[in-house]
Chain A
Amino acid sequence: MTDASRSDRSRPGVTRDRILTVTGATKRFGAVTALSNVDFWVDQGEVVALVGDNGAGKSTLVKMLAGVHAPDSGTLEFDGREVSLGDPADAHDLGIATVFQDLALCENLDVVANVWLGRELVTEGRLDEVEMEQRTWSLLRDLSARIPSVRDHVSTLSGGQRQTVAIARSLVGDPKVVILDEPTAALGVAQTAEVLNLIERLRERGHGVVLVSHNMADVMAVADRVAVLRLGRNNGVYNVAEITTETLLAAITGAMDPPTSGPRRVVSRDDGSPAGVVSLSDRGTRRRGGRDDRV
């Protein structure tokens, strides 16, 4: 009951704004076509899982969104404007934060230093440790994260805590989209639960979250929508409330091709706004009620 009301508040349904839209993205590396005419989008306050087998093009798509690779063709729209991302800094300035799998933390620095690395606050010509520490605490509180002390060196933290630090860092500058690349891949059960909670906090804060994962249980537990890539192409977009892990696996492995039309597949856009969005959002809201039955 509380769960449902919370999700209603955090997910305004129809009024949610589209933040990021990728249309017809194609990327080739020499003779290899990593992505071919891929569509992808993220709404405000939704968790989109991006799944696919190895070599499906997940990483390429993520790197494209992070500004690491430029697409050979296709367009990227952010907040309704067409944009091009020259380098990672562009993506970050725009409001797309990416947490890569290796986290890229400096183990010899403490949590505060890592969260603010490269964007330190300065007053009177020196680092403003007080302000940075305070804001770090409030970020971590927002995420309901359990970190013993923000002055602990990252080398003393567990894998889940490190993931928390990396996510907290990505939130500095209040990005609209947060991309998490395999955030639970190296974690144990308890730590995975911790990170999944964190993802829900991100959704509640209104960020659009892209979750790249191999773990179907995580995807089913936390995502609203799943975009499947297979061999560099879209292989269906599904509402998590309406599918089973088996369906998803079938889509990933290619045992089941996406239906050409039907309620579950989001029909490709015709006039710039995807046809399936409104209904998907409604179902997404209902999904939360059903999730507890399943689990």
Chain B
Amino acid sequence: MTASESARRPLGAAADRVRDAAADLVDRTRSGNLGVLPVVLGLAVIWTVFQILNPVFLSSTNLVNLTVQCAAIGTITLGVVIVLLVGEIDLSVGSVSGLSAAVLAVAMVQARWPVIAAMLVAVLAGTLVGLLYGFLYTRFGIPSFVITLAGLLGILGVQLWVLGEEGSINLPFDSWLVVFAQQMFLPAWASYAVIVAAVAANAWARLRTARRRERANLTYQSTRSIVVRALALLVVLVAAAWYLNLSRGVGLSFLLFVLLVVVADFALTRTRWGRAVYAVGGSVEAARRAGIRVDRIYLSAFVLCSTLAAAGGILAAARLGAVSQSSGTADTNLNAIAAAVIGGASLFGGRGTAWAALLGILVIQSISSGLTLLSLDSSVRFIVTGAVLVLAVIIDSTSRKNRAVYGRN
């Protein structure tokens, strides 16, 4: 007793802080505001288990593959996150990505268009689908579930029609698009430079905000805590980049995906549009009464989702170097939606961040990669992914229930 007390005394402040943090954690667990914690924990568990089962799993080569595989479906997931935030769903992202891939292939290979033009048209195809969904939803009030379920089938039909009799088109593998998705990696020095620049920019923005808040007499983050956090982030990211650089390094396509996430995060948290998206997801009626043009927000969400799905389709086609009738079918849809939910985007709307796309897709791809390494076939992969999805939804709805119970004082 006395021994433990005397041991605690010099560490009193630190111990108090730990206790506060623990109490805070318990409190947040109860009240259902866990944030990214369950995902990060889940990812740690998944990685540990697969590493024990197969030591290749955490090798840098495999992790490089994993990040590169994340880019395509991750981009689609980002769109799903936005649609989930307004409290709707898009079940047809897979078909839209397939349609965009088909348009890209036909324009590039058969019509011999420049790559950029083909990509633009492919993305535009997605945008048009999103406009159609948004129109059907806001004009006729059909549930998005039904619209996009119809779209799942209808757009697959369009994809098959676009592909025509060929059925399968190979992209020229010397095209820069294919090279970009398959073989372009950041040189080691560039990866560190990007990380340092990003962390510095983030810390600078935080410092500026802290100064403004200090001047405005509001609570603000101390310079020390900002610097410490920035250094910690820097260490983690540099270590990760270093590990990936042992193999091929950081894929450009993965970097592009992360960049999209950062942009989406900015738009969602720092603009009026983003605030409106959360408001609509939280309570449409409240948003409408606050003067938000709810229909436009819905429309923008559907358009962004389909557009990002189309962009993801291009990335997927470029990585595989081929487009076929099965592009975007099979598990693309459910992987993207599962990743969004696992990452923390609530199915009930209004909760989640753009980072859910990154975290969620890492989980999904880890499971997929780990099971492939164990030479288990897709039956097991589907079952495990399905189980993880259900788990994520359980966490989502129980935390929602807990919020309802504990939310009111």
A binds B: yes
**A118, A131, A137: which has the most chain B beta carbons within 10 Å?**
A118
B300 CB → nearest A CB, Å:
16
- Roughly how many angstroms separate A134 CA and B214 CA in the complex, as a whole number? 11
- Roughly how many angstroms separate A109 CA and B286 CA in the complex, as a whole number? 11
- A108 with B272: CB separation less than 8 A: no
Taking a contact as CB atoms closer than 8 A, the residue among B33, B209, B291 that contacts A118 in the complex is: B291
Interface size on A, residues (CB 8 A): 32
Interface stretch, picked from A33-41, A120-128, A209-217, A261-269, is A120-128
- Roughly how many angstroms separate A157 CA and B408 CA in the complex, as a whole number? 6
Q: Mark A85-120, 1 if CB is under 8 A from B, else 0.
A: 000110010000000101011111100010001111
- A117 with B279: CB separation less than 8 A: yes
- Roughly how many angstroms separate A125 CA and B279 CA in the complex, as a whole number? 19
- A117 with B286: CB separation less than 8 A: yes
B373 CB → nearest A CB, Å:
39
**B213, B217, B271, B283: which has the most chain A beta carbons within 10 Å?**
B283
- B291 with A107: CB separation less than 8 A: no
Residues of B within 8 A of A92 (CB): 291
- Roughly how many angstroms separate A155 CA and B283 CA in the complex, as a whole number? 12
Residues of B within 8 A of A109 (CB): 275, 278-279, 282
- A106 with B217: CB separation less than 8 A: no
Q: Provided the pairs A107-B282, A134-B217 are in contact, do residues A89 and B291 lie with their beta carbons within 8 angstroms? A: yes
Q: Which residue of B lies closest to A151 (CB)?
A: B219
Residues of A within 8 A of B289 (CB): 88, 100, 104
A5 CB within 8 Å of chain B: no
Taking a contact as CB atoms closer than 8 A, the residue among A119, A130, A159 that contacts B212 in the complex is: A130
- B282 with A156: CB separation less than 8 A: no
- Roughly how many angstroms separate A88 CA and B291 CA in the complex, as a whole number? 9
- Roughly how many angstroms separate A65 CA and B163 CA in the complex, as a whole number? 59
- Roughly how many angstroms separate A131 CA and B215 CA in the complex, as a whole number? 11
B226 CB → nearest A CB, Å:
16
Residues of A within 8 A of B41 (CB): none
A53 CB within 8 Å of chain B: no
Q: How many interface contacts (CB-CB < 8 Å) are there between A and B?
A: 88
Q: Provided the pairs A107-B407, A117-B279 are in contact, do residues A133 and B218 lie with their beta carbons within 8 angstroms? A: yes
Taking a contact as CB atoms closer than 8 A, the residue among A89, A105, A130, A153 that contacts B209 in the complex is: A130
- Roughly how many angstroms separate A55 CA and B304 CA in the complex, as a whole number? 46
Taking a contact as CB atoms closer than 8 A, the residue among B213, B287, B291, B409 that contacts A157 in the complex is: B409
Q: Which residue of B lies closest to A89 (CB)?
A: B291
Q: Mark B274-297, 1 if CB is under 8 A from A, else 0.
A: 011011011101110111100000
Residues of B within 8 A of A130 (CB): 209, 212-213, 216, 218
- Roughly how many angstroms separate A63 CA and B292 CA in the complex, as a whole number? 19
- B272 with A104: CB separation less than 8 A: no
For chain B, residues 279 to 328, give those with C-beta under 8 angstroms from any C-beta of chain A: 279, 281-283, 285-287, 289-292
Taking a contact as CB atoms closer than 8 A, the residue among A104, A125, A126, A158 that contacts B408 in the complex is: A158
- Roughly how many angstroms separate A159 CA and B407 CA in the complex, as a whole number? 11
- B409 with A127: CB separation less than 8 A: no
Residues of A within 8 A of B217 (CB): 134
- Roughly how many angstroms separate A157 CA and B31 CA in the complex, as a whole number? 12
- A108 with B350: CB separation less than 8 A: yes
B112 CB within 8 Å of chain A: no
Q: Provided the pairs A118-B287, A159-B408 are in contact, do residues A127 and B282 lie with their beta carbons within 8 angstroms? A: no
Q: Mark A138-164, 1 if CB is under 8 A from B, else 0.
A: 000000000000000101111100000
Residues of B within 8 A of A137 (CB): 218
- Roughly how many angstroms separate A63 CA and B219 CA in the complex, as a whole number? 40
B381 CB within 8 Å of chain A: no
Ordered nearest first, which 5 A-B pairs have the shortest CB separation? Answer: A118-B290, A106-B282, A108-B282, A108-B350, A118-B291
**25 A/B residue pairs, CB under 8 Å, sorted by A:** A88-B289, A102-B285, A104-B289, A104-B290, A105-B286, A106-B286, A106-B350, A108-B282, A109-B278, A113-B278, A117-B275, A117-B279, A117-B286, A117-B292, A118-B291, A118-B292, A119-B290, A120-B275, A122-B272, A127-B275, A133-B218, A134-B217, A155-B403, A155-B404, A158-B409
Residues of B within 8 A of A (CB): 31, 33, 209, 212-213, 216-218, 266, 270-272, 275-276, 278-279, 281-283, 285-287, 289-292, 350-351, 403-404, 407-409
Residues of A within 8 A of B (CB): 88-89, 92, 100, 102, 104-109, 113, 117-120, 122, 125-127, 129-131, 133-134, 137, 153, 155-159
